[in-house]
Structure 1
């Protein structure tokens, strides 16, 4: 029988899901700014697909949604308010773990609430995982049918997400039931479950063996306790879990974006000329034409080999 592996050496029966909890008394939370999308050039350079148009012209993050809801007097108890609020909360919270997500929920969302890319260490640039997310802000008990719904999104995903490097994530403010865990373990798709409370706190994360086959062996979960006392009488500490990579904190999405811009600058300089923005676009187009299977490899000093550089710059001048 396969077992659910726990960091403290205990075992739970019946699953091939990875679900690690360890105790760490140091508080090390990071707070990402509101998502600022990458430029079309940066996305093209690093082969990051652009998300479809947002479903609303009135809001694109939690702050603008709250303003819009107040302006139109949208009841905070309505299904639309609760669902949209939770989706934006999840989107903002998961940036902390290098997930760049976009809300696409609407009539034609094919069951997908959020989609984007996951820039884990060793995957910061063009090898970033594609991600499909379903958010279930439900008070009722969640069953294995939700896993089947998530599997269906793979077949209806936008073109840029129909790859062998795409993972599906179910997010809910409730813990995964045994039925959900069993369904995740049996699935032939790479799937995650994340329990994210309505305030954005991550409380549970688990994933199946198929997801780990995508090179996610170093991914782990660490339980951390805050310094704030949640209950003055009991003296209990607030706690949440955080995702780690090879035992270290995962750089948040803001750090990833800064890294991509740095790599972009290095790429332009590797051609030996200071190119303005318009020529930068033309340069990339020529590189993609001459090297359709991938860009030429730069040397240890970050400089492209002379033979490739001369070929590209000559085509650029022409």
Structure 2
């Protein structure tokens, strides 16, 4: 058996800003919401900040996954159809289509996010089945499509059970500046990629960009007889 190693080493909307304004009459203070123009300017700055945070994390995710043999391209803006990146993954001369979403929020990522992503995957997985004359007979699911959900925060404990109930191959991974910290495949993905192995590598303080204690990151490799 040979091993082919890959070269891997709450966005809540802020409430309206309220300022204290002293009234013309002494000893009376009223709360006044800032002018609409000021609020709109602040919301625009906040929106631009959120967009940059999201874009930076999408680029980090793509860069990190590319070390594991994935060739990905960021998809953003209007018409992205609910995905943040797409591309291909070559493993053991097999080519798989990949689509993915990125979540950078403070809270843990839960099952509801995965269910929404599953609906998105179904739209991308449906391909037309044509007859000899080129007429569409029906839609069938593309079984070589893999969905990747990348999260900066951890996943809730219940997501693995939820994800295993999905028909389409899906992978959940926690990605930070220090690499991939978790990489979980659902049942459909394990059946599609039986040769994929996940190993844990210990990262010391000197290797980590964080000042916290030692951490663990993920290494991936494929094998064949």
1:108 matches 2:109: no
Instruction: Give the alignment partner of residue 120 of structure 2, picking from 153, 158, 183.
Output: 153
Q: How does 1:235-274 map to 2 (within 5 A)?
A: 237-246=214-223
Give the whole-Å Cα distance in 1 for the aligned partners of 2:146 and 2:120.
10
Q: What stretches of structure 1 move > 2 A for 4+ residues in a row?
A: 28-31, 74-77, 154-160, 225-231, 234-239
* 1:189 aligned residue: 168
**Offset at 1:155?**
3.2
Q: Secondary structure at the match of 1:187?
A: coil
Question: Would the alpha carbon gap of residues 75 and 146 (structure 1) be closer, same or farther in structure 2, given more than 3 Å must change?
Answer: closer
Preserved contact between residue 111 and residue 149 of structure 1 (Cα < 8 Å): no
CA RMSD of superposed structures (Å) = 3.0
Q: Secondary structure at the match of 2:105?
A: coil
Q: Secondary structure at the match of 1:178?
A: coil
Instruction: Give the alignment partner of residue 185 of structure 2, picking from 201, 207, 220.
Output: 207
* 2:62 aligned residue: 91
The answer for unaligned runs of 5 or more in structure 1 is 1-27, 32-73, 248-318
Question: Would the alpha carbon gap of residues 236 and 147 (structure 1) be closer, same or farther in structure 2, given more than 3 Å must change?
Answer: closer
Give the whole-Å Cα distance in 2 for the aligned partners of 1:227 and 1:196.
17
Q: Aligned residue pairs: how many? A: 169
Preserved contact between residue 204 and residue 213 of structure 2 (Cα < 8 Å): no
**Offset at 1:238?**
4.4
Higher helix share: 1
Give the whole-Å Cα distance in 2 for the aligned partners of 1:244 and 1:108.
34
Q: Secondary structure at the match of 2:202?
A: strand
1:144 matches 2:123: no
Q: Secondary structure at the match of 1:239?
A: strand
* 2:133 aligned residue: none
Structure 2 length as normaliser, TM-score? 0.66
Structure 1 length as normaliser, TM-score? 0.48
The answer for unaligned runs of 5 or more in structure 2 is 1-5, 10-44, 128-140
Preserved contact between residue 110 and residue 157 of structure 1 (Cα < 8 Å): no
Question: Would the alpha carbon gap of residues 229 and 178 (structure 1) be closer, same or farther in structure 2, given more than 3 Å must change?
Answer: same
Give the whole-Å Cα distance in 1 for the aligned partners of 2:183 and 2:150.
9
Give the whole-Å Cα distance in 2 for the aligned partners of 1:30 and 1:98.
9
Instruction: Give the alignment partner of residue 88 of structure 2, picking from 104, 117, 132.
Output: 117
Q: Secondary structure at the match of 1:184?
A: helix
1:77-117: CA deviation from partner (whole Å, max 9, x where unpaired): 82101100000010111011111111112221111110111
1:164 matches 2:135: no
**Offset at 1:230?**
6.6
Q: Secondary structure at the match of 2:120?
A: helix
Q: Secondary structure at the match of 1:78?
A: helix
* 1:177 aligned residue: 156
Give the whole-Å Cα distance in 1 for the aligned partners of 2:170 and 2:81.
17
